[in-house]
Amino acid sequence: MKRVVITGLGAITPIGNSVGEFWENIIAGKSGAGPITKFDASKFKTTFGCEVRGFNPENYFEKKEARKYDSFTHYAVAASDEAIKDAGLELSAMDLEQRAMIGVIWASGNGGIGTFEEQLKEYYGGDGTPRFNPYFIPKMIADIAAGVISIRNKLHGPNYCTVSACASSNTAIIAAFDTIRLGKAHVMIAGGSEAAITPASVGGFNAAQALSKNNADPLGASRPFDKDRDGFVIGEGAGALVLEELEHALQRGARIHGEMIGGGMAADAYHLTGTPPDGIGAALGISKALEEANITPDKIDYINTHSTSTPIGDVSELTGMKKIFKDLPVAISATKSMTGHLLGAAGAIESIICILSAKHDIIPATINTKNIDEQIPKGFNIILGKSIKAEVNYVLNNTFGFGGHTASSIFRKYKGE
């Protein structure tokens, strides 16, 4: 199998609209939470979230073109543009044969949910005459971001969307990894985007008792592992990775951020939205990732947990992890305490964190957590409050989604070997 490295990164997040700004704020322990401004949320049980701020789609599209796309596609293009530039890919100099070996696998759990709501509101709020925007369908469908990225860059390789709820972008990255290892592409752009801070989304998650209702303290509301946690904080944005076959990257003199060495996927097979008390899906996915990476659990230096700050989910995940890591004091943290939960985009931005953690030997912290829930399995080295310097060679990224989807990916420091 071919080796796969990461040569480009891009991010649009609630705590930074570039990888540099995002990483700086992750290390500083900055929260992106605040009152919702996307719509009037005053009557909702939850009135806050982690919104992208200071983003203008017209920095990436002509004004007329920008109207053709939902915000989740705007974020996707912005993040992928940064990743392509970061990778130093000279696409304009490539011929058709070369472009046919560069593909896009892009994820979104909700797609253009904002567009969907707006169009139906106009229809049902009118006289019943169907006056739908001609771009309604392409703005809404979840696969359109992958299509736009490929059209924009004239990339003719494999192109599709993965949808596995909050595991979606980690699934996309694993799929891109497999595509390159099998020789079906030299380069893949993979990641995910969400723009789901909308009335239906917030209302729906409220109805499911999934969101924090700590309206008095948005900045401190996302507190994974804490005994007083009461749900996740919804976020939005995008993360993009350029994955590349090692020899291809070396031949063109690319800068390498890190290497991907394994990915594991499994299913809880338990419940529509809940996670099993024994964490079986998490354990299976992690086990498969370790097997593919051909490493033992003691090699993992840091785990970016999925932990969203829900009462059941955090315990379930760490219970599953305990089956694999047993008494190993592996360092873990939950960076959703800063970014909120980016749903289908979470796996991508957290993969960026994992890659940069190994590259810079820094482990980011879980912020806001004061008192660890007694139900959380003991033995893990939970990094709280402030990021730490530590040797980081192997990192694990966990993601889980409604429907029982689990996806775990493993990255390692690239040392030029």
| Domains contained in the chain, CATH given | 4-251 (3.40.47.10), 262-411 (3.40.47.10)
- For 240, phi then psi, to 5°, come to -130, 140
The tokens 């309604």 sit on which residue? Answer: 136
Task: Say how many Å lie between the first and final Cα of the chain, rounded.
Answer: 16
353: helix, strand or coil: helix
Nearest to 310, CA basis, from 413, 222, 199: 222
Examine the residue annotation and report whether 166 is marked as an active-site residue of this protein: yes
Q: Which of 166, 186, 257, 405 is catalytic?
A: 166
Nearest to 406, CA basis, from 324, 305, 258, 330: 305
Q: Which residues of the chain have pLDDT under 50?
A: none
382: helix, strand or coil: strand
Nearest to 198, CA basis, from 250, 121, 130, 128: 121
Whole-angstrom CA distances from 381 to 38, 332, 384 are 38, 6, 9
Question: How high is the pLDDT of residue 165?
Answer: 97
Question: How high is the pLDDT of residue 316?
Answer: 97
Examine the residue annotation and report whether 354 is marked as an active-site residue of this protein: no
Question: How high is the pLDDT of residue 127?
Answer: 85
Q: Which of 186, 257, 341, 405 is catalytic?
A: 341
Q: Half-sphere exposure of residue 209, counting CA atoms within 13 Å on the CB side?
A: 6
Distance CA 49, CA 340 (A): 7
29: helix, strand or coil: coil
Question: How high is the pLDDT of residue 140?
Answer: 97
Distance CA 255, CA 251 (A): 11
Check: pTM over 0.95? Answer yes or no: yes
Write down the H helix ranges in 71-226: 71-87, 96-99, 113-124, 136-140, 144-153, 168-181, 199-207
Angle at 216 between CA 305 and CA 315, to 5 degrees: 25
Question: How high is the pLDDT of residue 416?
Answer: 86
Q: Which of 186, 248, 257, 306 is catalytic?
A: 306
Examine the residue annotation and report whether 360 is marked as an active-site residue of this protein: no
